Structure 1
Amino acid sequence: MSGNKPKRAGYAEIASHYRQQIADGTLAPGDELPSMREVMAAFNVSITTANRAFKMLKSEGLTAPKPGVGTVVVDQPRIATTASARLQRIQRTGKAYGPKEKSVDHTAELRSVGDPTLASHLELEIHDEVVVRTRTFVRDGKRTVFAVSCINMRALADVPELLSTEPFGQFWQEVYKARTGRTVTKSPERRGARLAYDYELQALQIDVVPGTPVPVLVLVNTFSDEDGPLEVWEDVYAPGLWQVDSE
């Protein structure tokens, strides 16, 4: 346990610590949490405080008691993390994926901007070109999120690999920042719902009769550097999934 934790933590801080470990994959489904006695010693708290922290994790559906074992992390087949939580995990651990997760069907190409909203977010004119990268996240064999990144063309000068379909192995902006020395900031995540497009249903392998309206949850993040908007990242969630932050 890290020695820089508060001398005496509250139950919410303790719950946040293990919640983060679960989100990062440090604690995977089936893993056992430390015993109540170990938590009490590590955080210098009473059994009442430790018990309240464990109850909070249980109420959130993250853990469950297992007879003869203790408290274990449970699988969450209907949960998919937000883009913000994904980036936080990468920054903390360097891991591009969560437990039992991978990405497939990577694409990269130049396209002209036809969406006025996207053009506005990137401060471009209609029909200006952008780099469009797509991938589909899969967890435990199930497709969860279709992700689309629309990146300002000026990034190509420093990161020409953006037009390769090969995954970076890290967030591409880390490469951009290392090569340019620039700082990239993220706007607050925007969340909404709309009907899925046919290509999104195909990417998520949602089998419906053509023309059937399928509502989906959509999360949008915009990243900028000192020259203005750099990337708009849109996540489209498969129907039936919840999204959660890791904090």
Structure 2
Amino acid sequence: MSGNKPKRTGYADIASHYRKLIADGELAPGQEMPPMSEVCKKFKVSITTANRAYRLLKSEGLTVPKPGVGTVVAEQPGVASSASARLKRIERTGQPYGHGEKSVDHTAALRSIDDPVLVEQLGVDFRDEVVVRTRTFVRDGKRTVFAVSCIHMRALGDVPELLSTEPFGQFWQEVYKARTGKTVTKSPERRSARLAKDYELEALRIDVEPGTPVPVLVVVNTFSDDEGPIEVWEDVWAAGLWQVDTE
């Protein structure tokens, strides 16, 4: 009986590795990328595979050639992170933000919800109140992602800070888990495209004529504890960005 063969490292795996390092700031803008020979040795791949990975990063606008040096990280790489990527970044580095990144325009309020999709996702009744937190992520001065979190009211008793507009500095679920001893899990990301709403265009500073259709990528994550869904996090992505893959 033959055993399972170990998975071979492909060019996409190598590109994903360096994409994460760029997003985390471990490879900063202007910094030289590792030489091809080092990549080949590290991942045990051929020069053809390593070169293909580097070409992919270049095509995504994450790296650029620099005469006399080699390949360097682009000055303003067009990369943004989803909720999943941010969670994994904290696990890897302890940092909620990537290089040159911050969040602005934080809001927090109680709102009744009448969106049937959100009602189902969060497991509440029509027009129930939930905590709604919004913020916009900015990287190197460019607005990249408008994020909306709809949080079940049962979390508010343990984490009253949810109604504060001050950033947590970590994911609020970490505070919730520490105070309750509960486990919070994440469902697979759901991705779709739709036209941006007016307030999303304003948050992302997308200046177009009124009524102009602007397509956006929407990434949704649902987080649950042992009682059911506790947060639905929706990211609305500005056009022209590459997502850091984490799944």
Question: Under TM normalisation by the shorter chain, which class is it?
Answer: 0.7 to 0.9
Give the corresponding residue for 1:3: none
**How many residue pairs were aligned?**
235
Give the corresponding residue for 1:242: 241
- 1:6-37 CA-to-partner distances (Å, cap 9, x unmatched) read xxx84645544433322321002211123345
Alpha-carbon distance in structure 1 between the residues aligned to 2:149 and 2:21? 27
Alpha-carbon distance in structure 2 between the residues aligned to 1:66 and 1:200? 37
Shift of the 181–50 alpha-carbon distance from structure 1 to 2, 3 Å rule, reads farther
SS of the aligned residue for 2:156 comes to: helix
- 1:119-169 CA-to-partner distances (Å, cap 9, x unmatched) read 110110111110000001111111111100000010111111101000001
Alpha-carbon distance in structure 2 between the residues aligned to 1:214 and 1:44? 40
Superposition map of 1:160-171 within 5 A: 160-171=160-171
Alpha-carbon distance in structure 1 between the residues aligned to 2:222 and 2:192? 15
Asked whether the equivalents of residues 36 and 51 of structure 1 are also in contact (C-alpha less than 8 Å), the reply is no
Tell me how far 1:51 sits from its aligned partner: 5.7
Give the structure-1-normalised TM-score.
0.85
Question: In the alignment, is residue 223 of structure 1 matched against residue 220 of structure 2?
Answer: no
Asked whether the equivalents of residues 80 and 244 of structure 2 are also in contact (C-alpha less than 8 Å), the reply is no
Asked whether the equivalents of residues 217 and 237 of structure 2 are also in contact (C-alpha less than 8 Å), the reply is yes
In structure 1, the gaps of 5 or more residues are 1-8
SS of the aligned residue for 1:60 comes to: helix
Question: In the alignment, is residue 58 of structure 1 matched against residue 44 of structure 2?
Answer: no
- 1:167-221 CA-to-partner distances (Å, cap 9, x unmatched) read 0011111111111111111111111122222211111122223333322221111
Give the corresponding residue for 2:5: none
Alpha-carbon distance in structure 2 between the residues aligned to 1:150 and 1:127? 13
Give the corresponding residue for 2:144: 144
Alpha-carbon distance in structure 1 between the residues aligned to 2:192 and 2:40? 41
* RMSD over equivalenced CA pairs, Å: 2.2
Shift of the 57–36 alpha-carbon distance from structure 1 to 2, 3 Å rule, reads closer
Q: Equivalent pairs: percent with the same residue?
A: 68
Give the corresponding residue for 1:4: none
Alpha-carbon distance in structure 2 between the residues aligned to 1:31 and 1:71? 9
Alpha-carbon distance in structure 2 between the residues aligned to 1:74 and 1:231? 35
Give the corresponding residue for 1:105: 105
In structure 2, the gaps of 5 or more residues are 1-7
Shift of the 234–105 alpha-carbon distance from structure 1 to 2, 3 Å rule, reads same
Superposition map of 1:1-247 within 5 A: 10=9, 12=11, 14-39=14-39, 43=42, 45=44, 49=46, 52-61=49-58, 62-75=62-75, 77-238=77-238, 240-247=239-246
2:54 alignment partner AA: L
Asked whether the equivalents of residues 82 and 243 of structure 1 are also in contact (C-alpha less than 8 Å), the reply is no
Alpha-carbon distance in structure 1 between the residues aligned to 2:149 and 2:102? 17
Asked whether the equivalents of residues 63 and 72 of structure 1 are also in contact (C-alpha less than 8 Å), the reply is yes
Shift of the 19–215 alpha-carbon distance from structure 1 to 2, 3 Å rule, reads closer
Shift of the 34–242 alpha-carbon distance from structure 1 to 2, 3 Å rule, reads closer
Shift of the 184–19 alpha-carbon distance from structure 1 to 2, 3 Å rule, reads same
Alpha-carbon distance in structure 1 between the residues aligned to 2:159 and 2:245? 29
- 1:60-79 CA-to-partner distances (Å, cap 9, x unmatched) read 32334322223212245543
SS of the aligned residue for 1:221 comes to: strand
